[in-house]
Amino acid sequence: MRETAPRPTGEMRTFGAHELIVTKTDLKGRLTYANDVFLRVSVFAEDEAIGQPHNLIRHPDMPKAIFKLLWDTLATGQEIFAYVVNLASDGAAYWVLAHVTPSYDAGGRIVGYHSSRRLPAPAAVKAAAALYERLRAEERRLGGPAGLAASSRLLQDLLAERGQTYDEYVWELTNEGAGT
């Protein structure tokens, strides 16, 4: 494992529209599988990634409120789609449209999580980045748990103004971006 977390360089990385980034984690979010596309785009060797927390690719521009929503949704056994900006080990950023689902054992118990990510449309990234900047500003304004709570409230308020859930917002961006 690398000694220190990478610092964002401002470089944006992309990957093929036909490619899927796939990872699997255990219940604690530690990587148990990473495909070759994940390893190439995130610039991690397999032995550096497997066993590490999935948040090793967390970009500081991602609002904590989105991750809270993601984990709260998964805890109920539901899937979630989300726009996410990740941070590669070399400091480059890359956006994905993530589809995260619980993985179940034969007895129906959640044993981990599976994430498939594809390349998002530029228009969807632009809209998600604008929303995420507002959420991060709220998190910075109050800091800590209070900032997370305020950011989560702001997200819910903004979605309520639109008459949408986060899922509906993501699908709107996805469908609008499909033509770009």
Q: How many Å apart are CA 147 and CA 65, to the nearest integer?
A: 9
Name residue 83's beta-bridge partners: 97
- Could you give the CA distance from residue 38 to residue 151 in angstroms, rounded to a whole number? 29
- Predicted local confidence at residue 3, as pLDDT: 56
CA-to-CA distance for 113 and 28, rounded, in angstroms? 9
Question: Which pLDDT score is estimated for 4?
Answer: 67
Strand stretches in the chain, DSSP E: 21-26, 31-34, 80-87, 93-104, 110-118
Chain Cα centroid distance, residue 107? 28
pLDDT in tens, 104-150: 999 999 999 999 999 999 999 999 999 999 999 999 999 999 999 99
Residue 2 has pLDDT above 60, yes or no: no
Return the beta strands (E) in 48-109 as ranges. Answer: 80-87, 93-104
Q: What is the mean pLDDT of residues 24-53?
A: 96
Under 8 Å between Cβ of 74 and 82: no
Report the CATH architecture of 21-177: 2-Layer Sandwich (3.30)
Average pLDDT on 6-31 reads 95
Per residue in 61-70, pLDDT (tens digit) is 999 999 999 9
Is the pTM above the cut of 0.85? yes
User: Which residue type is seen at 168?
Assistant: E
* Res. 87: pLDDT tops 90: yes
- Write down the domain spans for the chain: 21-177
Is it the case that residue 179 has pLDDT exceeding 80?
no
